[in-house]
């Protein structure tokens, strides 16, 4: 597939790297010479210096032959114009734009994405905030991703050394709790990602990923030795769009009696004043988020949760570690640099969120066929979690799972019936029928094999 990426910042670089590793023909456009040279030196892609709003530059990138254009600069207007030009000049490519402003993507927007010739608008700040809020509501989780319209959740849990399931096999855990609908579908052990069989045993410090019916998450988390106690006092660092959205969602949660107590620290006075007017249920503090004396005065040690979502990733990491040292139960940091993500939990961080992942997930879904309902990637997990629909006459529907030769590095975890009523933990005796939706864990280098057995692979889904 021929892909054009407009914008070579952190997000554009990450998308280009991902697509290049999957052997797509990628061209990156950016006005910054240093970014262009960095792309040229480190990735097997074509990099062009210029503006994505220039027809000449788009033609140089062979936009007429492009299957997909992804515009992810920091400027909404550039992303929208680049997408419009690609739609007009190209041969009907799929266009995806990163848009931060609610003026373009909100429900009250005068102009809709169809007016710009867009197939998809990605709002990473909104997705990142929603993920952070979900992590705070599931206090024991390191990661949360929803499937089947929210009926299923993928929950990541770090195994403490005193967890009751340490040393038990997955078969033993499942048998002892057969009244619950869940499946341990992935394990990160050190730097390795495992797609485990039933005989695999849980070890201390494992990070396990469990697919579970949403209503049964507290019970399954308890089985894994974690407390699901509610977090009531929360401090947020940074007054960015992500921070404001997190505070708004937390402050509005529940009735007056159940409302969470949220504090937000912002260094810019004008921003702090604006947030104070917009977020009535949040206490806004004007001050330096890196000033630990200020945070101590404001009661950081009395917080149940601490969320650092400033633009300074190093500050996010350090402040979360300090909060953990002071006894805060749950810490969440916004990270994007690939060097920080693998070490974040090993050094004491509870969870991390990333705006880059929000964009990568949407791009991945568009690269898959129409039978792919959703695609999830998780920080530190070298696997994809894919929700697919089994098409008529696809190979997966021809026999029981135990009688099929499935690719190594793949686990069929959960089956959702075509009638939406049945949620079944897949076993060897499971038969997948046309129209069923299936959640599959698969190592990144086996994705194409999995797609092939669920239905014909299409170039790009609209």
pLDDT digits (tens, 9 = 90+) for 402-425: 999 888 889 999 999 887 778 889
CATH architecture of structural domain 358-454: 2-Layer Sandwich (3.30)
pLDDT at position 356 is: 78
pLDDT at position 371 is: 60
Cα–Cα dist 356/345, whole Å: 18
Q: How many CB atoms lie within 10 A of CB 112?
A: 11
pLDDT at position 274 is: 93
Cα–Cα dist 427/413, whole Å: 8
Residue 98, CB-side half-sphere exposure with 13 Å CA sphere = 26
Q: Parallel, antiparallel, or unpaired: how do β-strands 372-377 and 305-308 relate?
A: unpaired
The pTM of this model reads: 0.76
CATH 3.40.50.720 segments of the chain: 2-122, 233-353
CB 69, CB 63: distance < 8 Å = yes
Residues of the chain with pLDDT under 50: 254-257, 457-462
At a CB cut-off of 8 Å and minimum separation 6, what does 52 contact?
6, 7, 29, 58, 71, 73, 78, 79, 81, 82, 85
CB 220, CB 213: distance < 8 Å = no
Cα–Cα dist 461/386, whole Å: 15
Question: Treating both helix axes as pointing N-terminal to C-terminal, what angle do 124-137 and 241-252 enclose, rounded to 10 degrees?
Answer: 40
pLDDT at position 351 is: 86
> Please, where are the H alpha helices in 333-460?
341-344, 355-367, 447-454
CB 29, CB 395: distance < 8 Å = no
CA proximity to 246, closest of 261, 257, 236:
236
Cα–Cα dist 295/298, whole Å: 5
CA angle 315, 123, 384 (to 5 degrees): 80
| Tokens of residue 110, six digits | 């005068």
At a CB cut-off of 8 Å and minimum separation 6, what does 106 contact?
none
Q: Parallel, antiparallel, or unpaired: how do β-strands 207-213 and 152-158 relate?
A: antiparallel
Sign of the alpha-carbon dihedral angle for 358, 363, 368, 369: positive
CA angle 279, 261, 147 (to 5 degrees): 80
Q: Give the CATH superfamily of 2-122.
A: NAD(P)-binding Rossmann-like Domain (3.40.50.720)
CATH architecture of structural domain 128-223: 2-Layer Sandwich (3.30)
CB 299, CB 319: distance < 8 Å = no
Cα–Cα dist 124/281, whole Å: 24
| Tokens of residue 446, six digits | 């086996």
Residues facing residue 412 across a β-bridge: 440
Three-state DSSP at 200 gives coil
CATH 3.30.70.1450 segments of the chain: 128-223, 358-454
| Tokens of residue 368, six digits | 């898959």
Q: Would you say domain 233-353 falls under CATH 3.40.640.10?
A: no
């Amino acid at each position: 597939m021929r892909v054009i990426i407009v914008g070579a910042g952190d997000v554009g670089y990450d998308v280009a790297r991902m697509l290049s590793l999957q052997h797509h023909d990628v061209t990156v456009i950016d006005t910054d010479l240093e970014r262009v040279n960095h792309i040229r030196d480190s990735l097997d892609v074509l990099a062009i210096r210029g503006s994505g709003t220039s027809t000449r530059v788009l033609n140089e990138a062979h936009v007429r032959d492009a299957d997909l254009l992804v515009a992810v600069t920091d400027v909404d207007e550039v992303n929208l114009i680049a997408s419009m030009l690609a739609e007009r000049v190209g041969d009907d490519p799929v266009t995806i734009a990163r848009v931060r402003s609610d003026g373009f993507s909100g429900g009250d927007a005068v102009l809709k994405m169809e007016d710009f010739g867009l197939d998809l608008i990605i709002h990473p700040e909104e997705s990142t905030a929603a993920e952070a809020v979900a992590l705070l509501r599931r206090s024991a989780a390191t990661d949360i991703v929803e499937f089947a319209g929210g009926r299923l959740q993928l929950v990541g849990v770090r195994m403490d050394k005193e967890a009751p399931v340490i040393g038990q096999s997955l078969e033993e855990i499942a048998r002892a709790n057969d009244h619950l609908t869940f499946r341990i579908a992935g394990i990160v052990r050190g730097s390795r990602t495992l797609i485990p069989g039933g005989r695999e045993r849980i070890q201390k410090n494992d990070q396990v990923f469990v697919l579970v019916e949403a209503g049964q998450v507290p019970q399954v988390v308890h089985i894994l030795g974690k407390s699901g106690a509610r977090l009531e006092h929360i401090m947020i660092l940074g007054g960015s769009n992500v921070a404001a959205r997190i505070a708004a969602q937390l402050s509005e949660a529940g009735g007056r009696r159940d409302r969470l107590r949220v504090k937000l620290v912002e260094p810019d006075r004008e921003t702090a004043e604006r947030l104070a007017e917009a977020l009535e249920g949040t206490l806004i503090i004007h001050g330096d988020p890196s000033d630990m004396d200020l945070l101590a005065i404001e009661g950081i040690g009395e917080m149940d949760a601490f969320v650092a979502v400033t633009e300074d990733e190093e500050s996010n990491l350090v402040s979360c570690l300090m909060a953990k040292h002071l006894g805060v139960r749950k810490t969440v940091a916004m990270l994007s640099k690939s060097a920080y993500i693998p070490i974040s939990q090993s050094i004491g961080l509870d969870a991390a969120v990333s705006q880059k992942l929000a964009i990568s997930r949407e791009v991945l879904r568009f690269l898959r066929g129409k039978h792919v309902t959703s695609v999830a990637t998780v920080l530190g997990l070298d696997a994809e979690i894919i929700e697919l629909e089994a098409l008529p006459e696809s190979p997966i529907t021809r026999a029981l799972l135990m009688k099929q030769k499935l690719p190594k590095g793949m686990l069929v975890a959960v089956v959702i019936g075509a009638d939406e009523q049945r949620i079944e933990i897949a076993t060897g005796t499971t038969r997948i029928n046309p129209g069923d939706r299936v959640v599959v864990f698969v190592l990144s280098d086996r994705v194409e094999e999995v797609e092939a057995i669920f239905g014909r692979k299409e170039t790009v889904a609209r």
